[in-house]
Amino acid sequence: MMKNSNIARLGFEKIKWAVVVAHALILAPVVATEPGMFHTDLAEVSAKTRKEIYAKAHPFLPFPFSDAFTSPLNYHFFSTDSTLYFSASFPDSYGKSDLYMSKWENGEWGAPQNLGTSINTIYSESYPYFTESGKLLFSSDRKGGYGGLDNYYSILADTGWMHPVLLDSTLNSSRDDYALISFDDLKSGYFTSDKASKNTLYGFSRNVEFFNTCSEAHKRSYCYTFTDNRLMPPDSIRPRYEWTFSTGDALQGKEVTACFPHAGEYQLILRVIDEITGDTLNAPIQQLVVIPEIEQPVIHIDAPYRSQAMLTFDASDSYLPQLNSIDYIWDFGDDTFALGMQAVHAFHMEGHYTIKLAVTGFIANGQREHHCIYQQIEVRNE
């Protein structure tokens, strides 16, 4: 039976970021997903059985290079209609295990091709899987992750494989997290983790529909127009209106626009002076001006925006007083997400990214309400 797991009071029910413990998976020998997709862990499978499993990766012939797999490492496979992706340790490997590909051409499998240093490192790369949109998901214990094996993705561009993107903390932890598969471009899927002290299969589902109704983020403006609505003086008088604010601004005119640095209380003094005689008309008007806080989410990002640099994303200036039990969800525009008022993230490639912030909470009647804004940034290489 599947059991819902409410992770760290993050209110996943509103967006269905539910992480579900499906069952304990301790090195299951074969996991078939759907036609054309094949995923397996062969750590405890005999050499003979390995050959049989390799053969299942394609309906016509067994994989002829399986005899080379003599290491006790785990071997993992994913097949498309004409290409087999797998992890192995060959003489040309850069690390403990690398990702390879082999093409089905002219009725046979071609020699394995290392995916290169854009993907492979001196550490272990394993568990390849392709999403429908062409993202290569895989696991690696390279430096710079959360710890242990972590889940990454890369995309094959015209110039080669892009630098792998470390997926967010919902799919990674300080323990081993691996064998990520997804049928809808990382909106849902499964992965294995030992964060509960034993290898367990987790399912995830991200319902991020409210990210589709975001409005563009605008800088808060505390500018207001002030007008003297009293009766005009007789035509024989040429009035000059002098407005003085406790911000230090001094403005002239019957109608003026004053801008304040932030919400708060300010003093205003209005003097009306006869420009002909220099006399002050009537007594000066003194008034307390209360500038209210603007109710909206706020995104603050430390500049400059450089690839590979850890950027801080801050929503602490958001002001939504009608919401209780507030949660903050970040979408960084590269298929990674984060939760919390503050988050850190590094972009691995230069380009234009749309940062989205969703703020959700409960209003007085107990219903959930959400607000979403977005901000576009350009990330450049250092």
pLDDT of residue 106: 83
Q: What is the mean pLDDT of residues 108-134?
A: 89
| Cβ proximity of 193 and 187 under 8 Å | no
Whose CA is closest to 318, among 362, 356, 359? 359
Distance of CA 309 to the CA centre of its chain: 15
| C-alpha span between 236 and 70 (Å, rounded) | 105
Residue 170's pLDDT band, with cuts at 50, 70 and 90, is confident
Report pLDDT for 292: 93
Pick the last residue of a domain from 253, 268, 291.
Answer: 291
Q: State residue 190's pLDDT score.
A: 85
| pLDDT tops 60 at residue 179 | yes
d(CA 241, CA 251): 8
Same-domain status, 276 and 184: no
Higher pLDDT pick, 271 / 135: 271
Are 100 and 7 part of one and the same domain? yes
Is residue 277 domain-shared with residue 327, that is, in the same domain? no
Which pLDDT tens digit goes with each residue over 254-277? 999 999 999 999 999 999 999 888
Residue 26 CB-half CA count within 13 A? 4
Is the pLDDT at 349 greater than 50? The verdict is: yes
Q: Which of 207, 233, 254 is the last residue of a domain?
A: 207
For 94-103, 115-124, 154-163, 312-321, which range has the lowest pLDDT when averaged over its residues?
A: 154-163
pLDDT, residue 81, reads: 64
CATH classification of the domain holding 344: 2.60.40.10
Same domain, 21 and 125: yes
Residues 284 and 301 occupy one common structural domain: no
The answer on 198 and 60 residing in a single domain is yes
Q: What is the pLDDT of residue 1?
A: 25
Q: In the predicted model, is pLDDT for residue 133 greater than 80?
A: no
Domain shared by 330 and 357, yes or no: yes
pLDDT value for 29: 29
Are 184 and 248 in the same domain? no
pLDDT tens across 211-241, in order? 888 999 988 889 999 999 887 777 778 899 9
How many CB atoms lie under 10 A from the CB of residue 161? 17
Rounded to an integer, the average pLDDT of 341-367 is 89
Do both 325 and 351 map to the same domain? yes
Does 110 share its domain with 14?
yes
On average, the pLDDT of the chain sits at 78
Same domain for 107 and 21: yes
The CA dihedral of 37, 39, 45, 46, to the nearest 10 degrees, is 40
- The answer to whether residue 26 scores a pLDDT higher than 70 is no
Tens of pLDDT, residue by residue over 41-62, are 333 334 444 445 444 444 434 5
Name which residue leads in pLDDT, 285 or 72: 285
CA–CA separation, 236 and 345 (whole Å): 67
* Averaged pLDDT for residues 269-286: 90
Q: Are 302 and 311 in contact (CB under 8 A)?
A: yes
**pLDDT at 78 (0 to 100):** 61
pLDDT, position 66: 62
Q: Give the residue numbers spanning the domain of 28.
A: 3-207
Last residue of one domain, picked from the residues 267, 291, 315: 291
CB atoms within 10 A of CB 139: 28
Q: How many domains in the chain?
A: 3
Q: What contacts 24+ positions apart, CB below 8 Å, involve 166-174? A: 166/336, 166/346, 167/335, 167/336, 168/336, 168/337, 168/338, 169/338, 169/339, 170/17, 170/19, 170/204, 170/206, 170/337, 170/339, 171/204, 172/145, 172/146, 173/146, 173/147, 173/148, 174/146, 174/147, 174/148
Task: Choose from 188-192, 234-238, 283-287 the range with maximum mean pLDDT.
Answer: 283-287
DSSP per residue over 178-232, as a string?
EEEE-SSTTSEEEEEE-TTSS-EEEEEE---GGGGG-EE------EEEEE--SPP
Contact (Cβ atoms closer than 8 angstroms) between residue 235 and residue 358: no
* Phi/psi at 359 (5° precision): -120, 125
Q: Are residues 15 and 129 in the same domain?
A: yes
Q: What is the pLDDT of residue 76?
A: 57
